[in-house]
Amino acid sequence: MEFQEVVRARRMVRSYDAQRPVAPELIERLLGLAVRAPSAGFSQGWEFLVLDTPERVGRYWEVTTDADTPPDRWLRGMQSAPVLILPFSDKSAYIERYAEPDKGWSDRDESRWPVPYWHIDTGMASLLVLLGAVDAGLSGCFFGVPVAAQDAVRQTFAVPSQLTPIGVISLGYPAPDRRSPSLRRGRRPVSEVAHYGSF
């Protein structure tokens, strides 16, 4: 598939064919794309937790949802994904990288960072997974880890303390899916969002 076609075809899919597993080599290929993302100072401060069996995926949903509340349509669809990938950012990788001699910020002062590039770069790596999924005939969705469940996720999956979860990527072969009603808002045209020279 041509790159422009991949970008145009990408959308957040919220329902998957639970009977159709994703081959391990395909997951590995998508992660191989993720590590090609740009990162400030080539810090590469990202880690990926791959949940690729029904048991592992089930553990994620057990610790992030309320067992006493029936799942709504969104949750039922998302729970059908055979693979979940949790991308984590590592701020310390950036702070330490920029204290090295070629960067020279030996004071490790976080205020030097105008924005948290560790999160941005991990987000870009996540987008490469989503685009690679489309190219491979898969579908995906990026969604957040509930704030109230983050400690449980850390404990359940032995997440190192310096890592911050930036979200979850669900992956699988698509099932019939209701398109998001938010799409009715329409996509903002380039002429509305691009400003040449000044605003």
Residue 172 φ then ψ, to 5°: 170, 180
pLDDT in tens, 101-131: 999 999 999 999 999 999 999 999 999 999 9
DSSP letter for 162, please: T
Judge contact between 138 and 173, C-beta under 8 A.
yes
pLDDT in tens, 23-37: 999 999 999 999 999
Residue 136 predicted with pLDDT over 90: yes
Distance CA 134, CA 11 (A): 9
pLDDT in tens, 55-106: 999 999 999 999 899 999 999 999 999 999 999 999 999 999 999 999 999 9
